[in-house]
Amino acid sequence: MLFFEDSLFKSTSKLILTVKMGTTCGILRRNGKDIKQVVLPMQRPKFPYGFPPPDLREAGIGPYLIPQTMNDKLLDHLGKWNKMMSMYASTAHPFEVYLKDPERKEKLLRRIKKGPPVQYRWQAWIALMKLSARVNEDAYNKLPMADESVMSTIRRDLDRTFPNHPYFQKEQFNNAGQGALERILGKFAYQHQEIGYCQGMNFIAGFLLMVSGGSEIEVLFALEILCEKYDLKGFFIEGMPFLKKSVWIFNRIFRLKLPKLWQHFQDENVPDDAWILKWFMTVYIMNLNFETIIRIWDCFLIDGIKMLYRVALSILSSIETTLLTLETVEICEALKEVKNLIDPESLITSSLKINISKEKITAIENLYKHRVIGRMSVKSVPPQRPRTEEACHRIEQKTKLPPVKKESFSPQPRPFVMEEIREDLRGITPRRTKTNSFTSNSNDEQSSRKFTQVPTLPDIHSTRKYSNSFREPFAGWADDSLHSESDEGSETIDVKTVLNELLKEKSRDNFFKLKCPRVPIRKGSDIDKKITFINRLPI
């Protein structure tokens, strides 16, 4: 039996752990009395050969990442986990075996969402990701590093990754933190060259290193599973398609759940890259404290991307009243300082109460594919391959139209048309002023002209210059009394050209415009009706 004091549990009374060597069972005592029998994970993290692990307590990683205060509630919590573990304590990975049992799976998932004890968290995460079947120490050691161009970018970001945490400081622990992080990112970039390295991956890998207690072999394969199973690959590849899609879907849910705050953000033009892009890209690692981040990841590994939507809505709803009174710059600053205003357990509790159904997310995803992806695919249609001469000839033969029979052209208008024109010209007075019968003072005529906008012949003639004049005398034409000296100097009107212009291509511009634009215009009326319309014009 081995007795030692564990400073992990902070309490006024002395806590003594009794651990049987070679087993994973222990008895927790307080004041000399056995309180709970606790199962402790005895498996050490996996480190590559030649890189000794740091002291977990001094480095502040593993179970020492978050200080835990012992109380009666925590003791009861440990007892429940002990009963679960005792069922499969003989196996190497008891949580994975427990998840395979359909009757007990839901119980374990429910308890992980409530927060596993710090001693069991990484083992629970391994079970959720099904990581034990993927880990291969020999494969990890044989993987080379990425190219120097990629490694230079990775080394530049090492000092920016949790610079205030002792595990990632160069002076301590023989540079264990930054060295492990560099090897993980370099090997991952080589193994997955379609992803490579992108800023944000360093925070996720560094966070997993701290939670696992520096187990860099497991962290590398965990990073692969996150990219495959949880679609984080779309956060880091070129274009960041899954990140853009997630932000677009969240904005739709944001608009439905918090319409007033969403409208305020639109009025103030709050940019997405100032807050929600950073929240999602690193799964809140850059924006919240470790206690809150760990609790979010407990649920994220179970619910996936939906948990990110819930947490964002819960944060916004908790400070909605304050945000509604702020302007753009103040809103961005308030969202940066949100980590100091949120209690981890209350945040998770309120987040899990937000109902976002899978059917609603699927409907929004389909809308995103239709509106965004469809529009992008139309713009990015690849050029067609050039066709051969034979293919072009076959297409030309299929699409060739039969020849159109052309009617013989007659320079003289049809007799019945000229007869109608002559009848109308007989009623024209010798002198025509602007105040003629067409511009009468009748209110009905003025209102009808206002909305129909019938083009008059003088207006049409004033915008055109004609070289030919249609003044050849015909039988029955108006006599010479119709002409006066004042008309001799005026421009002659080519009636034939005007008719051709008005009837050209049967354009709707030559018809009067209706007051209601929804009424369809009949473009296929016969020529006689059009001639009747022309004849009504004052000539």
Q: What are phi and psi of 19, to 5 degrees?
A: -120, 130
64-102 confidence digits (pLDDT tens): 998 877 788 888 888 888 888 777 777 778 888 888 888
Q: Looking at the chain, which residues constitute the CATH 1.10.8.270 domain(s)?
A: 43-65+118-238
Residues 6+ apart with CB under 8 A from 386: none
Give the per-residue pLDDT at 219.
95
Assigned token pair, 233: 């690959």
Let me know: does 120 contact 159? Beta carbons within 8 Å.
Answer: no
Assigned token pair, 170: 């160069």
Span 321-331, mean pLDDT? Answer: 93
Beta strands, E only, 31-129: 33-39, 68-69
* More confident of the two residues 47 and 205: 205
The radius of gyration of the chain's CA atoms, rounded to the nearest angstrom, is 42
Q: Which pLDDT band holds residue 537 (cuts at 50, 70, 90)? A: low
Fold entry, domain 244-288+298-377: Cyclin A; domain 1 (1.10.472)
Q: What is the pTM of this model?
A: 0.65
Residues 6+ apart with CB under 8 A from 60: 165, 166, 167, 210
Residues 6+ apart with CB under 8 A from 62: 45, 56, 122, 210, 211, 212, 213, 214
Q: What is the dihedral of CA 22, 26, 32, 35, to 10 degrees?
A: -170
Q: Looking at the chain, which residues constitute the CATH 1.10.472.80 domain(s)?
A: 244-288+298-377
* More confident of the two residues 72 and 260: 260
Closest CA to 160 of 173, 151, 169: 169
Q: Is the pLDDT of residue 233 over 60?
A: yes
Give the per-residue pLDDT at 121.
93
DSSP sequence for 444-469: HHHHHHHHH-PPPHHHHHHT---S--
Strand-strand pairing, 15-19 and 9-10: unpaired
336-392 confidence digits (pLDDT tens): 888 888 889 999 999 999 999 888 999 999 999 888 776 655 444 444 455 556 666
DSSP 264: H
Of the options 1.10.730.10, 3.40.50.300, 1.10.8.270, 2.60.40.4070, the CATH number for the domain spanning 43-65+118-238? 1.10.8.270
DSSP sequence for 13-51: S-EEEEE-TTSSEEEEEETTEEEEEEE---PPPP--TT-
